[in-house]
Amino acid sequence: MSSIKIWEDRERDLYAVLYCLDRPSANKKTGDMVQLAVLGLKHKPTFYIKNKAQHMCGSCALVSQCYVNPVDLNAIYDKTVHLDVELIPKLHKPIRLGSWGDPDYCLYRFYMASYIVLQGIQATRIFGKRLTQSIVNT
């Protein structure tokens, strides 16, 4: 099990996946962390970027010049899009929120379902302020 679907919203064409659960993350910037991505249900990430339709990115200021390479996420999409939503297992490494897509779409459910200890969570700098606000307001 290297990836699991943890949330889905068919009306908004979105779902959230945790990946790098049992393998190291290749992200040299963050180190070995479980990664959370919010993806579209209908198409692979490259489709949304090519068509400038990244609705899963919310109000991210970088949506028109995104630096994330979606090709690796296409493989995650292929493995997870048709899976059922699962409970979050006990994790043995920190979680990076927002490897792609806006984690605000699923944060409340994510926190309530997983009872995450806030230490060890890293958010990308774009979402860091909103993440802190979400935690304070919950």
Task: Tell me the pLDDT tens digit for each residue of 33-57.
Answer: 888 899 999 989 888 777 776 777 7
Decide: residue 45, CB within 10 A, 0-12 exposed, 13-18 middle, 19+ buried.
buried
* Cα–Cα dist 133/138, whole Å: 9
- Number of structural domains found in the chain: 1
Residue 41 DSSP symbol:
S
pLDDT at 105 over 90: no
Half-sphere CA count of 137, side-chain side, radius 13 A:
9
* Cα–Cα dist 71/10, whole Å: 23
State the pTM of this model.
0.75
Q: Which domain range does residue 120 map to? A: 3-137
pLDDT of residue 52: 72
Query: Is residue 100 a contact partner of residue 75, using CB atoms and an 8 Å limit?
Result: no
